[in-house]
Amino acid sequence: MTSKPMVLPCVASRINENMEKIFIKNRHNQNVSVLIEKADNQKGLAFVMHGLGGFKEQPHIENFAKAFRDNNYTVIRFDTTNTFGESDGNYSDATVTNYYEDLEDVISWSQTQAFYQEPFILCGHSLGAICSALYAENYPEKVRALAPISTVVSGQLSIEAHTREKMSDWEKTGWRTTIGYSSGITKRLKWAHMADRLKYDLLPKVNFLTMPVLLLVGEVDTSTPLSHQKILFDKLPGKRELQVIKNAPHTFRDEEHLREIYQIMDKWIKSLG
C-alpha cells in the first residue's frame, strides 16, 4: 500500500497567480520539489516527468508542460529524488525504483488537493517515460492518456543499446562517469542503477495500456532508439501514435526540435477531446 506523503509546513512559494512550488515528503521522508501550474478553467490534469539526471525546468519538459497548459490542463511537474533538481538525494543513487516511487507519491499527494481530477494524463521523458508507463500499467483506470517520450522500454533493451565494452566496464568498476551536456557537471552513477533497471520491462503488461498512447522519439536517438519504440508500438492494444523528430537526439534541445515536439503534443492533446 502506497503511503501518502505529507506537505511540509511553510515551504510553499507562489511564483505567480497560477504557479506555485511546494515541497512534500516522499515515503522515505525525503523532500520532493513539486511545481503546480493551475488552469483557470481546468479541463484536465497532467503530470510531466523528467528523465535520468534531469529536472523539471528543462526546455523539453517545459515544452511538454506548455502544451498541456495551453489546452487548459493543470500541470504538475516535479524533481525526483536522486537527480540534479531541488529534491533530496544524490544522482549516484538514482534508480527506476526511486523515480517510480516518487511519481506514485506525487500523485498520492495530488489526490488531497482541490485540483485533483481522474482520469489524468501522464507524460514523461526517458526514465520518466517508463515510470509513467509502468504507473499506467498498474493503475489503468486512473490514466486517461499516456505520452512516454523517448521511453526506456526495458532494462534489457537498454543494455543492448550500448556497447558490450561500456557495459562491462561499468559493471566491473561499479561506476559510469559522464559529463552533463549543458552544465558541464561530472555525473557518476552506480552499477546498482542498471541492476535495478533490469527488473523493469513494459512488454509483459502492455495489454493494460488500452488508453491513447503517443510515442515520440528523435531520429538519431541511440539511448532509446526508434527500433525500441517500434517494439512497444507494435504491441500497444489501443489507439496509438508514433512520431519521429528528424535529426533529433535523445534529449531535445534545438529550437526547431522543441517547436516540433510542442506542435505534436498540442495536436495530440486536442485529439483527445
pLDDT one-digit tens code per residue, 52-82: 999 999 999 999 999 999 999 999 999 999 9
Does 158 reside within a domain? no
Does 35 reside within a domain? yes
Query: Is a pLDDT exceeding 90 seen at residue 226?
Result: yes
Q: What is the mean pLDDT of residues 134-160?
A: 98
Any idea which residue has 490514466 for its cell? 143
Q: Tell me the CATH number at 113.
A: 3.40.50.1820
Q: In the 8-state DSSP scheme, what is residue 81?
A: S
| Domain, as residue range, for 213 | 13-153+201-271
**110 or 184: which leads in pLDDT:** 110
Does 69 reside within a domain? yes
Does 191 reside within a domain? no
Does 81 reside within a domain? yes
C-alpha cell, 180: 552533463
Whole-Å CA distances, 186 to 70, 127, 166, 189, 247: 36, 19, 17, 10, 26
What gap in Å lies between CA 59 and CA 152, rounded to an integer?
Answer: 20
pLDDT one-digit tens code per residue, 24-59: 999 999 999 999 999 999 999 999 999 999 999 999
pLDDT one-digit tens code per residue, 153-212: 999 999 999 888 889 999 999 999 988 776 678 999 999 999 999 999 999 999 999 999
Q: What is the mean pLDDT of residues 116-145?
A: 99
Amino acid, single-letter form, for residue 218: G
Query: Is a pLDDT exceeding 60 seen at residue 6?
Result: no
Q: In the 8-state DSSP scheme, what is residue 29?
A: S
C-alpha cell, 190: 552506480
C-alpha cell, 273: 477531446
Does 89 reside within a domain? yes
pLDDT at residue number 88: 98
Length of the chain: 273
In the chain, how many domains are there?
1
